[in-house]
A and B are shown apart, each in its own frame.
Chain A
Amino acid sequence: MYKIVKKRVLNPTVTLMEVEAPFIARKAEPGQFIILRVDEAGERIPLTVADYDRERGTVTIIFQIVGGTTERLNHLGEGEYIQDFVGPLGEPSHTEGLKRVAVVGGGVGCAIAYPVAKKLHGQGAEVHTVVGFRNRDLVILEEEFGAVSDVMKVMTDDGSYGEKGLVTDALKALIEGGAAYDEVIAIGPVVMMKFVSLLTKQYGIKTVVSMNPIMIDGTGMCGCCRLTVAGKTKFACVDGPDFDGHEVDYDEIMKRASTYKEFEAKEREKACNLFKKEVR
């Protein structure tokens, strides 16, 4: 059992939890993920490590409430326990030798982008951050990103905060403005990563994207998280989750990600009903 030591609601659909997991905290690196089960009957879901504190022995996760499991997870409070918490899984993001990087985050993907930006900043790289959200209410981690970025752009789809537009608009402006990046790191919805990669390909800038497909074991056993990269089948859990953005078959990933959409929606409804009943 793994204790939740801190819980913070970042926006109406996104929650941060700091979880006691000393073994994982000792080893975790940006880009890696954990798999958790909320309770004895729970499914296994992967969540990327958003932060870690080696001294306190804690790992931070940030999740969006999308299905039954995240709904149930969100109903746990500080001092309560998560049944299973395993990691760190996947390969860490490669940041060595990078001097000038654009980090692009979209929605809850910013939770994954942040530790990468933080690490890059920590090793002395120039970090330009572009984060995008649907609207003002959904903006997360603005302060945290601000503290580790040399240039920071916040974009919203409806213009209710920051600049109106897509992350690709801001990234294009930065590139056109003369920012010569060693690498662009894009983490967010698959469709966003696809369009960031299409843009950077035009400029010949190496681009790394982080994949978060459906998984079960997370150790290379089930093959559920497979995707096509440069025409070859790769497993996101052991070969990734980071891949060359210019080589990923995004359309296939989007299809596979929708496999259990109906089931997830029903499960979430079931979980919601359950909690409504429990509330007096």
Chain B
Amino acid sequence: MPNMSLKKNPMPAQEPGIRSRNFYEVTFGYTAEAAMDEAKRCLHCKNKPCMGGCPVRIHIPEFIEKVAAGEFEEAYRIIQKTSSLPAVCGRVCPQETQCEQKCVRGIKGEPVAIGRLERFVADLHNANSCDLPAKAEPNGHKAAVVGSGPAGLTCAGDLAKRGYDVTVFEALHLAGGVLVYGIPEFRLPKAIVQKEIDNLRALGVKIETNMVIGKVLSIDELMEEYGFEAVFIGTGAGLPRFMGIPGENLKSVYSANEFLTRVNLMKAYREDARTPVLRAKRVCVVGGGNVAMDAARCAKRLGAEEVTVVYRRSRAELPARAEEVEHAEEEGIVFRFLTNPVAIEEGENGMAAGMTCIRMELGEADASGRRRPVPKEGSEFQIACDAVIMALGTSPNPLIKNTTAGLDTQPWGGIVADGRGQTSRAGVFAGGDAVTGAATVILAMGAGKAAAEAMDEYMRRPRG
């Protein structure tokens, strides 16, 4: 008999007042009992609507069936067939707009907690299994992957499983891309990312760090001189945007990328860190996406007494996941909606002292379908703060575009690629934020997966 409870099994979490003072993971994950109980809520619909909501098409009802039966390792094998980063996806995927949105149980009550179950299965496997994935029989073809974020890692893993000799080139000193520099420890522990990367290495994937492709080697050199038959570009969207308002270059004004990189990649939250980060008392974060939530919650954990998220539209338009917004509010983050900064005031010693904002109202819908925020004249007011973090989104890095002749890009910098990652250059594929602009981890993984398939076909094509 299925479990007909209308609610998900709750996931235990650190108390907000405690977690907002540390960098440990917020939620603890299901126990085996809770997981099995939750798995029994699945009705095993014949048409599997949940799978249609998954960008990497995990066989969801099948793995849940195994969880319900207590066959957790079997469940892991089913997930692993289609997903290369299950422990990551179980944590950072927006399930509420993907698999869980399509879940029949969600029509009346809450959907099955697919994300929490995925996380449970992956964590249990990682904690208990010493089995490394088996290497595939080499097929004699060489492929390169540029960028080791979710798109690149997925593409590399899928190619390695098909027998390709894969080398991943990463610009930073550590592999993982946004998973290590962007998403904070308390939302995605770095040991989990490392474990997934170790699994890829076990599959035979080589990872070369400190290699800025477009600078130290070009795409053409990779293909002509180093014998890579196909290249996947998964370089993400790293270039931070600024507003162009007065005071934006004051000392205590950060882009979210800089702030998060200092805190996450460079571990500036640790007392013994050699990379500094300003520990401000009152912090304003500008923006409403997941990155803004991450920045606000990091600032709080670094000891800020007051953290305010300033967003120009209303709560309904917040692009961040509902769960992240909820967690942020529980931790005492203040939200100021329909508010937009117009200037940052300089205080002592070149630091920010406050932000002048203007109130907004929602007008007609714009190209994105959301109602456009319009400033209310004469409604300026001040928010006192000693640091500002700009989380306004990012655009693709131009390093590869500028050094690869014949690679078509959009006017805003994104690489032009079809649904399978094929770019305007033969043998060159691309996917993830480098193509779409800033999006989610799972969409990038889906793109990496599709490209791996297309690259496989390309490299096996008859020649002549």
Instruction: Check if B278 sits within 8 Å of A259, measured CB to CB.
Output: yes
A87 contacts B by Cβ under 8 Å? yes
Residue of A nearest to B240 (CB): A223
Instruction: Check if A256 sits within 8 Å of B275, measured CB to CB.
Output: no
Residue of B nearest to A88 (CB): B215
Identify B173's interface contact among A44, A69, A263, A264, CB under 8 A.
A44
Instruction: Check if A86 sits within 8 Å of B274, measured CB to CB.
Output: no
Instruction: Check if A222 sits within 8 Å of B210, measured CB to CB.
Output: no
Residues of A within 8 A of B211 (CB): 23, 86
* Complex alpha-carbon distance, A23 and B244, angstroms: 37
Interface size on A, residues (CB 8 A): 39
Tell whether A224 pairs with B173 under 8 Å between CB atoms, given A86-B210, A219-B397.
no
Interface size on B, residues (CB 8 A): 38
B266 contacts A by Cβ under 8 Å? yes
* Complex alpha-carbon distance, A267 and B275, angstroms: 10
Q: Is the interface of A mostly helix, strand, loop or mixed?
A: mixed
Identify A217's interface contact among B171, B216, B242, B250, CB under 8 A.
B171
Residues of A within 8 A of B215 (CB): 27, 87-89, 219
Instruction: Check if A221 sits within 8 Å of B173, measured CB to CB.
Output: no
* Complex alpha-carbon distance, A236 and B421, angstroms: 32
Residues of A within 8 A of B350 (CB): 255-256, 258-259
Most buried by A among B173, B217, B255: B173
Instruction: Check if B399 sits within 8 Å of A238, measured CB to CB.
Output: yes
Tell whether A233 pairs with B242 under 8 Å between CB atoms, given A44-B173, A238-B398.
yes
The contact string, 1 if C-beta is below 8 Å from chain A, for chain B 220-263, is 00000000000000000011101010001111101101100110
* Complex alpha-carbon distance, A227 and B212, angstroms: 23
Identify A222's interface contact among B212, B244, B257, CB under 8 A.
B257
Contact residues of A between 249 and 280, Cβ < 8 Å to B: 252, 255-256, 258-260, 263-264, 267
Closest 8 CB pairs of A and B: A255-B350, A221-B238, A223-B255, A222-B258, A86-B210, A263-B276, A223-B240, A43-B275
28 contacts between A and B (CB under 8 A): A23-B217, A24-B216, A27-B215, A27-B216, A43-B274, A68-B274, A69-B274, A85-B210, A86-B212, A86-B216, A216-B261, A216-B275, A219-B399, A220-B239, A220-B397, A221-B181, A221-B261, A222-B255, A222-B261, A223-B242, A223-B257, A224-B255, A227-B249, A233-B242, A252-B249, A255-B251, A255-B350, A260-B276
